[in-house]
Amino acid sequence: MEVIAYYRVSTKRQGDSGLGLEAQREYVHTAAKQNGWTITAEYTENAISGTVHPLERPEASKAFSHALPVVVAKLDRLSRDVEHIAGLMKRVVFRVATMPNADTLQLHLYAMLAQQERDFISQRTKAALEALQQRSDSGNASAMQKVANRTKALNKGRTKANQEKGGLSTANKAKSFAASVKDPIELCLLKGTRSYLGLANCLNDRGIKTVRGNLWSAMQVKRVMDKLEMKLN
């Protein structure tokens, strides 16, 4: 069966580093080999949010224009929005590399879980920032320093008008990096790695660097996996 491959990363940083895209390509090409698919074309979306409807994205619209099944590494590369996925099921054909035999009902359930995860992440981030501000307001020295650092980071290099729009805190930047290496970590796990040290070696062997551009240690892998709420199998 001939198929079209589609890859997407949400941030320019992920696209420039190639980490997210590399893992997605490996997922798709592995699934193609296992299922006898022939990839006839590949389309890549760089720095495009999953909140944008797939058919409104430049590269995704090209991918679906071929009238061939479109293969993505994971369902959330298309969207985390249940309505998006449900609408696509009625209009086009697509496959998910990590669950190539999933039927319509299963895909719909996974879409619901993906949207729920997105909502939970948003709620946890908001709650964490509110709790930090409350501790700061009550006089907690550590919290006050963190709020001050966050405010400084938000204001750095911005005009007054832009300052009002807010920005990413150090914690959110760390979470963003963690998300960018989630797929490579999962691939290492799928290949049978069962320890933090083994995962560190796997990432180092693949040429993937830490957020500071260094080699991975077992502790650094554990910290990233904790942020992602991932567990060793």
**CATH assignment of the domain containing 50:** 3.40.50.1390
Predicted pLDDT of residue 106: 83
Per the CB < 8 A criterion, the answer to whether 31 and 25 are in contact is: no
Predicted pLDDT of residue 154: 64
Predicted pLDDT of residue 59: 94
Query: Residue 159 falls within a domain, yes or no?
Result: no
Instruction: Tally the domains of the chain.
Output: 2
Predicted pLDDT of residue 42: 97
Tell me the three-class secondary structure of 199-223, residue by residue: HHHHHHHCCCCCCCCCCCCHHHHHH
Predicted pLDDT of residue 176: 83
Residue numbers of the chain with a pLDDT score lower than 70: 12-19, 112-122, 124, 153-170
Predicted pLDDT of residue 167: 46
| Residue-range definition of the domain harbouring residue 40 | 2-110
- Domain finish residue from 74, 94, 110: 110
Q: Are residues 105 and 191 in the same domain?
A: no
